[in-house]
Amino acid sequence: MSTNVSAIETPQSAAPAWTETLHEWVTTVDHKRLGILYILYGLGFLVMAGIEALIIRIQLMHAHSSFVSPQVFNRMFTMHGTTMIFFVVMPILFGFANYLVPLMIGARDMAFPRLNAFSFWLTALGGLLLYFSFLGGNGLYGAGNAPDVGWWAYAPLGAKAFSPGHSTGYWTIALLVSGFGSVGTAINIIATVLCMRCPGMHLGRMPLLAWLNFVMSGMVLIAITPLTAAQMMLLVDRYLGGHFFDTQAGGSATLWMHFFWIFGHPEVYILVIPAFAFMSEIIPVFSRKPIFGYPVMVGATVGIGFISMSVWAHHMFTVGMNSYANSFFAITTMAVGVPTGIKIFNWLGTMWGGRIQFKTPMLFSIGFLFQFLIAGLTGIIQSSVPVDWQLSLSYFVVAHFHYVIVGGILFAVFAAFYYWYPKFTGRMFSERLGKWHFWLFVIGFHMTFDVMHVPGILGMPRRIYTYEPRPGWETLNLIVTIGAFIQAAAILLFVYNLVVSYWKGAKAGNDPWDAWTLEWSVSSPPPAYNFATIPVVASRRPLWDQKHPEDPDSRYE
């Protein structure tokens, strides 16, 4: 297979000057380079937001701590939450989508390469604006501060009266701008998937990664935009004297909550669906079987997309909705468990009867399955409204969502990193360090987030900068903090592995995993134009057909 690779490898020339390289990267419209920019940008912010998390954890290590002031603590969790959601996970997932979708559907680029670059730079600008608030929030004379309103900025706390200065303004504009970037990328992915597929790849043959990112992009269109609209209203309030969320002038605080969560809930599925997409590519390859129930997987994803548009108020069970509204949002929320369960079962079905190879990407995938299961079930516990009256706004919720986001999404992202690293760089990473990273992160993760459920049950609310020494709280919080540091060590190991393998790793070749989708048919890294000849496919696993001409998939589909 790899004999012909050299034919399309870019010719090795003298290394260009670094300014030239920089210029090339800044002005690039190549989907692969933009993908990598997204990913590096997200990783940079992961370290920032991670350091903020560590500051939170140090402060909460013991009772009556005075490591940081309450004001700083409140800024830390606001910035940590906002950064992690909007400037870590979103960019990394968009980065992978950018890089992989065109390759997997046999296209030479995205549908609108320049829009693609524009969207990336909007997102980048958003993140920079958010962090500029550290300097400009109070004006330079006030020495600056970051927003401290929480990542939901509930009204009226986000209003000028309660958040004077410009820090909340920076927060608002940052999310507005990066929201435009996300919508741009979503439009691009939709157009790419619908209009750029190679011959033979009708929708029923598209790799699940492309399908799921397509669904995710559809959700972005209708779920990010409510946030955009709400942020516009908040700007009108803050800078034009409007009263949308001004409770003194008859404005409604709950309206903001509704608007925020109409965005916020679908948002978490926007984050998790690309993670599902990684699983749907990686698990089959390392189980050596095709995905179990492809059409059902597609259907379940679309189902999750639809149901998740009607569940938002499960974040508002404590705001005093009447019993009918509460019951409605309980049943819709529980209903999401059905299509999600179908997906879990189909991944299990894929592994069942396979020959599972425990390479690093697969280890992270198994971690994902296990942890996402638990996280989903704690979600179900919270969806039982009266139970949530106790659990809401407590550390149990914090544990639930870190379980999904770290135990689920971050594990899936790590799996994707290890799986596609050879394709991105042409080098293999160190499998040994990868396993170290996995086990260390598993230990750190469980120490942090398993334990974190318990303070919630013991009555510890979230977003408190310090606490009284109540029974159990101190010990538990200490364990949680230690876990967070173990996670940090594991992430350092991961970054080290990425960096060192880039130069020292073994050459990967086109197809190190013996995989089946089109990206593995081209050289690693792929040439700028991806495919010298646009491929023609006849099944969901074109490379399987090629490797097993005696038993092609096209016979069964």
Partner 1 sequence: MNMRHRHNSAIRCALSFLALFFCAAAAAAPVSSTNIFAPASTPARTIVGLSHFVIAVTAVIFAVVASLLVYSVVKFRARATDAGREPAQVYGSTQIELAWTVIPVLIIIVLFLATARIIHAIQDAPKPAAALDVTVIGHQFWWEFRYPKLGIVTANELHIPVSDPAHPTPTFLKLLSADTDHSFWVPELGGKTDLIPNRVNEMWLDPERPGIYLGQCAQYCGTQHGKMLLRVSVDRPADFAAWVSAQQQAAVQDPKVLAGKHVFETTSCINCHSISGTAANGRFGPDLAHLMSRSTLASGAAENTPANLRLWIQNPDAIKPGSLMPAMKLSDGDLDAVTAYLETLR
Partner 2 sequence: MSALTIPITQAPRAWDLPDRGKVAMAALIIAEAAIFTIFVVAYLFYIGKSLTGPTPREVLETPVFYTICLLSSSVTVHMAGSFLKRGKQAAFLQLWLLTFVLGGLFLFGTGQEWHRLIYEKGLTISTNLFGTTYYSLVGLHAFHVTAGLIMLLIVLIFGLAGRVGRDQAGRVEVLSLYWHFVDAVWVVVFTVVYIVGR
| Residue 537 C-beta: closest distance to partner 2, Å | 6
Structure tokens at 405: 């986001």
Q: What angle do CA 258, 271, 366 make, to 5 degrees?
A: 135
Integer CA distances (angstroms), 177 to 26, 118, 128, 130, 304, in order:
19, 11, 11, 10, 27
End-to-end alpha carbon distance in the chain: 25
Decide if residue 387 touches ligand HEA (CB under 6 A): no
Binds Cu ion (CB under 5 A): choice among 31, 265, 343, 427: 265
Residue 252 contact, options ligand HEA, partner 1, Cu ion, none, Cβ 5-8 Å cut-off depending on partner type: partner 1
Residue 395 CA to residue 269 CA, distance in Å, equals 21
Burial readout 339-358 (b: 16 or more C-beta within 10 A, e: otherwise)? bbebbbebbebbbeebebee
- Shorter beta-carbon distance to partner 1: residue 8 or 393: 393
CB neighbours (10 Å) of residue 262? 21
Distance CA 380, CA 433 (A): 36
Considering the complex, state which of residue 133 and residue 510 has its C-beta at the smaller distance from partner 2.
510
Stretch that binds partner 2, among 136-144, 249-257, 339-347, 427-435 (CB under 8 A): 249-257
387 binds, among partner 2, Cu ion, partner 1, none (CB under 5 to 8 A by kind): partner 1
CA distance 511 to 32: 18
Nearest to 280 by CA among 214, 374, 191, 201: 214
Of 324, 533, 550, 556, the one binding partner 2 (CB under 8 A) is 533
CA separation for the pair 274, 138 (Å, rounded): 38
**Residues numbered 217-276 forming contacts with partner 1, rule: CB under 8 A:** 247-248, 250-254
Q: Kindly give, in sequence order, each residue whose CB lies less than 8 Å from that of residue 542, ignoring residues fewer than 6 positions away.
A: 516, 517, 518, 521, 535
Residue 545 within binding range of partner 2, rule CB under 8 A: yes
Residue 462 lies near ligand HEA (rule: CB under 6 A): yes
Angstrom distances, CA of residue 34 to CA of 62, 98, 302: 43, 7, 27
Q: Residue 468 binds which entry of partner 1, ligand HEA, partner 2, none, with Cβ cut-offs from 5 to 8 Å by kind? A: partner 1
Task: Assess 190 for contact with partner 2 (CB under 8 A).
Answer: yes
Site for ligand HEA in 155-174 (CB under 6 A): none
Minimum CB distance to partner 2 smaller for 183 or for 268: 183
**Token digits for 349?**
């079905």
Cβ atoms of 368 and 275 closer than 8 Å = yes
CA distance 335 to 313: 14
Select the binding partner of residue 243 from partner 2, partner 1, Cu ion, none (C-beta < 5 to 8 A, by kind): partner 2
Decide if residue 351 touches partner 1 (CB under 8 A). yes
3-state secondary structure of 154: coil
- Which of ligand HEA, Cu ion, partner 1, none is residue 410 near (CB under 5 to 8 Å by kind)? ligand HEA
DSSP string, 183-219: HHHHHHHHHHHHH-PPTT--GGGS-HHHHHHHHHHHH
The interface mask with ligand HEA, positions 243-282, x = CB under 6 A, is -------------------------x--xx----------
CB of 222 to partner 2, least distance (A): 5
Q: Which of residues 285-344 bind partner 1 (CB under 8 A)?
A: 287-290, 292-296, 318-320, 322-323, 326-327, 330-331, 334-335, 337-338, 341-342, 344
How far is residue 28's CA from residue 532's CA, in Å, rounded to a whole number?
20
Binding site for ligand HEA (CB under 6 A): 46-47, 50-51, 53-54, 56-57, 77-78, 80-81, 84-85, 88-89, 150-151, 268, 271-272, 314-315, 317, 333, 336-337, 340-341, 344, 373, 376-377, 379-380, 382-383, 388, 392, 397-398, 400-402, 404-406, 409-410, 448, 462-463, 484, 487-488, 491-492
Binding site for partner 2 (CB under 8 A): 1, 3-4, 7-8, 111-112, 183, 186-188, 190-192, 194-197, 199-200, 217, 221-226, 228-230, 232-233, 236-237, 240-244, 249-252, 255, 259, 262, 518, 521-522, 531-533, 535-538, 542-543, 545-546, 549, 552, 554
